[in-house]
Amino acid sequence: MALSMKNNLVIVESPAKAKTISKYLGSDFTVLSSVGHIRSIPKKAVKGVPPVDVKNGYKTLYEVDPDKKKIISELKKAAKAAKTIWLATDEDREGEAIAWHLTEVLGLDPKTTNRIVFHEITKSAIEEAIKHPRTIDMNLVQAQQARQILDRLVGFELSPVVWRKVPGGKSAGRVQSPAVRLLVEREREIEAFNGTASFRVTAEFIDGDDTIKAELSTKFATESEANNFLENLIESKFTVSDISTSPAVRNPGAPFTTSTLQQEANSRLGFSAKATMASAQKLYQDGKITYMRTDSVNLSNQAIAAMADYIKTTYGDDFVQVRKFKTKSANAQEAHEAIRPTDIRLEKASSNEYDQKLYDLIRRRSLASQMAPAKLEKTVITIEIQNEAKSQNVFEAKGEVILFDGFLKVYGASKKDAEILPAVKTGDELQLKLANARQVFSRPPARYSEGSLVKKLEDLGIGRPSTYATIINTIQVRGYVEKGEGEGEIREIINLTLENNEVKRELATEKTGADRGKLIPTASGEVLTDFLNGHFDQVIDYGFTAKVETSFDKIATGSLARNIMLDDFYKPFHELIIKSGGIERSLITKVREIGLDPKSGKVILARLGRFGPMLQLGSGEDKADKPQFAPMPSGRKIETVSLEEAIQAFTLPRTVGQTPEGAIIKANIGRFGPYIQIDKLFISIKPFDPHTITLEESLDLYQKKLQAETEKNIADFGGGIKVLNGRYGPYVTDGKKNAKIPKGTDPKSVSLDDAKKLLDEAPASKSRRRKFNGKKS
């Protein structure tokens, strides 16, 4: 890359951020990117020196990442040519650490090198930052180092113990493990929940031409009680005994922090925490929103004034109510602003559908925070029952009217409109149109969604804005947690209806237990949690983990020495590692004897294997008679799978038939669910059952897969180098590396030389595990 001799060199961590900043600086500035972190702690000792030397004050080795050598070479050339260097990495601890690593690698003095920070990428913010540079804050750097060192020590010392002792165990993390524990505890609450049924009574009354819907103030425990109540209504009179009207005010929420953005994006848009942060990062780097990792709900005076002016112009004076929100979190990491648009007038910030949806959510929430409360009127009509049974129960009809929209004008009303009640007066007699007693069931605690888990972690003081998305992604990647896909099970409910002076009973159905999008711990996650709880309780203790986060905060402010904090955690933790050698693996392994196979007479076991819960036919004690293995049936656990289900599981793989070309089609269940196999091609058959899928259905899925593969392959240059059409657009691959094809480039025009060049510049792809085929434990 040719560099012109310019006086000023600005270094940031992102190419997109560099591109945006360069638009606002003059021709005397060169803006380059480090493309994230440039150094990391090596995985192994270097010349006999451990990566983290605990005995020598936690002295840490760093090595330049191999794929960053070319970037560093370019940065060194530019730094040598420039008169003044400005480090403009993000203003949080990670950004401060990157700036420090840059001084180390480029040979700059951290005590004198200009460090500039800004919470939005706008011309005014950058010009202001240039006017007020500072130097690197070593307290922030030390706080980042403390987190990195602690996580490295825990991971490197605890993970090998987990591999040896825990079936299916891959690794354990200091912050991820408490998150898995939360999900395991919730799952066990659900399993232990004993639901009760009752009957909820609703009715429709006639008042002239109007209908009033009401609900009985109490529920009935049994069907006979509900039935008797309905029969008594036949000869009853119904009178309005009371009408109460009360004003209500609904206030807007504070503008977004990282946590609340992830929660709302999950509940309103269905975004995962990872997807939310990816979109927010793009919006920030494009200069559309303020910095997206923040604990603060504060807004600048300029931003508030701009919002107030926009609201006044767009909606009128009555809709403006300026507010200053205070940050509740005692551990707020930085004095940033809340997440808001850099220009509140801008409605469209991105051509990307997902980024635009997130921007719109941020913009509306920001505007709402400076708008007047919504004014409502709530009404309750009480309907008295008069009959020989002298019932003390009453029906209540509830309604709500929005008198003034206020902030609801921009930040959504409820999904369901409240009932608007007709005008009635006390003493009015109403006619009963119909009454219904429907069986309802008490609900177990709800499983966590990504959004609600983020809220819980924040409430417990576990993690920080920069770590929530990583925590949730890591526990899924490691196989300790998975996202539910179940639509629920059908159950029968009793429905009693009184109409035309007759009570009718009928059975209806409803779905229960849907877990789509919810976070569910796997068997490996449960075993890991039990193992850590029994032998490393310090690692998954909520209070202790929160205390560690608070200690990082103290290091960042200079009120706690890094090494004292590390000693407080590491020394007792290391003692537990030393004692772990005596832990018996057999006591941790989950094995349940289900019964005997009627054909072979062999024992069938449910147990935890390398890739999760599985079934085993044969004890394995006789080396000459090797056991058979089968995946656990969908939706079943080691504790719940029945003998019948286990026997059926061993009928797989099943030969479904042949393709027109004569290839055998086999149906089976693997680690990732049910599939059919044709030669070396594996095709997911969800939601079909591998025991019952027909040849016709299999051939249809096969043809669709072949068509998708044809559309996916744009070009094949041989030697493994291909141009493919992927989920996120066209890319080049050699089987080891993937490289995205730049926007605006026709993928069909990419030559072999182009492909090789793109692959040379791309970082190495992470390896992926093979799919479980049911043959190995």
Nearest to 437 by CA among 221, 240, 239, 241: 221
What are the beta bridge partners of residue 740? Answer: 731
Average pLDDT of the chain to the nearest whole number: 89
Task: Using the predicted structure, report yes or no on whether residue 306 has a pLDDT greater than 80.
Answer: yes
pLDDT tens string 119-145: 999 999 999 999 999 999 999 999 999
Amino acid residing at 734: D
Class of residue 557 by CB neighbours under 10 A (exposed 0-12, middle 13-18, buried 19+): exposed
Q: What are phi and psi of 769, to 5 degrees?
A: -75, 150
269: DSSP letter: I
**In the predicted model, what is the mean pLDDT of residues 752-758?**
87
Task: Place 764 in a pLDDT band, splitting at 50, 70 and 90.
Answer: low
Q: Is 357 helix (H, G, I), strand (E, B) or coil?
A: helix
pLDDT beyond 50 at 4: no
* Whether residue 330 has pLDDT greater than 60: no
Per-residue pLDDT at 390: 74
Choose the weakest-confidence range: 155-169, 274-288, 677-691, 753-767: 753-767
Whether pTM > 0.75 for this model: the answer is yes
Among candidate residues 392, 401, 356, the one with its CA nearest the CA of residue 374? 401
**Higher local confidence (pLDDT), 709 or 459:** 459
pLDDT at 151: 92
**Band of residue 329 on the pLDDT scale cut at 50, 70, 90:** low
Q: With pLDDT > 90 as the criterion, what percentage of the chain qualifies?
A: 67
pLDDT at 388: 75
Distance CA 277, CA 419 (A): 38
| pLDDT greater than 60 at residue 770 | no
DSSP 301-321: HHHHHHHHHHHHHHH-GGGB-
Give the pLDDT band of residue 756 (cuts 50, 70, 90).
Answer: confident
Confidence at residue 712, expressed as pLDDT on a 0 to 100 scale: 82
pLDDT-wise least confident of 618-622, 643-647, 717-721: 618-622
- Mean pLDDT computed over 292-303: 92
Q: Per-residue pLDDT tens for 675-731?
A: 999 998 999 998 888 888 999 999 999 999 888 887 788 888 888 898 888 877 889
What average pLDDT does the segment 748-753 reach? 87
**What mean pLDDT comes out for the span 354-364?**
97
Catalytic entry in 58, 284, 291, 448: 291
How far is Cα 88 from Cα 468, in angstroms, rounded to an integer? 24
Mean predicted confidence (pLDDT) in 584-590: 77
What SS3 state is found at 560? coil
Q: What pLDDT, on the 0 to 100 scale, is given for residue 742?
A: 84
CB atoms within 10 A of CB 239: 14
Give residue 711's pLDDT: 76
Residue type, 657: G
In the block, which residue shows the tokens 């990391």? Answer: 40
Task: Calculate helix-pair angle for 138-165, 523-535, nearest 10 degrees.
Answer: 110
Higher pLDDT, 292 or 619: 292
**Mean pLDDT score, 247-258:** 94
Tell me what pLDDT residue 83 has. 93
Contact of 15 with 116, CB cutoff 8 Å: no
Where residue 264 falls among pLDDT bands split at 50, 70, 90? very high
**pLDDT tens column, 165-219:** 888 788 888 899 999 999 999 999 999 999 899 999 999 999 988 999 999 999 9
* pLDDT confidence of residue 413: 58
pLDDT digits (tens, 9 = 90+) for 148-167: 999 999 999 999 999 888 88
Which of 213-227, 527-541, 696-710 is most confident? 213-227
On the question of pLDDT at 1 being above 70, the answer is no
- Structure tokens given for 764: 């190495």
**CA dist., res. 424 & res. 395, Å (int):** 15
Q: Pull the structure tokens for residue 117.
A: 């920070």
The DSSP secondary-structure symbol of 339 reads B
DSSP string, 565-633: HHHHHHHHHHHHHHHGGG--HHHHS-EEEEEE-TTT--EEEEEEETTEEEEEES-S-STTSPPEEEEPP
With the C-alpha atoms ordered 106, 108, 111, 115, is the resulting torsion angle positive or negative? negative
Q: Give the model's confidence band at 769: pLDDT under 50 very low, under 70 low, under 90 confident, else very high.
A: very low
Give the residue from 38, 21, 39 showing the smallest Cα distance to 29.
21
Who has greater pLDDT, 133 or 335? Answer: 133
Q: What are the residues whose beta carbons fall under 8 Å from the beta carbon of 134, sequence distance 6 or more? A: 114, 115, 116, 117
> What are 200's two structure tokens?
């909820």
Residues β-bridged to residue 30: 9
Question: Has 291 been annotated as catalytic?
Answer: yes
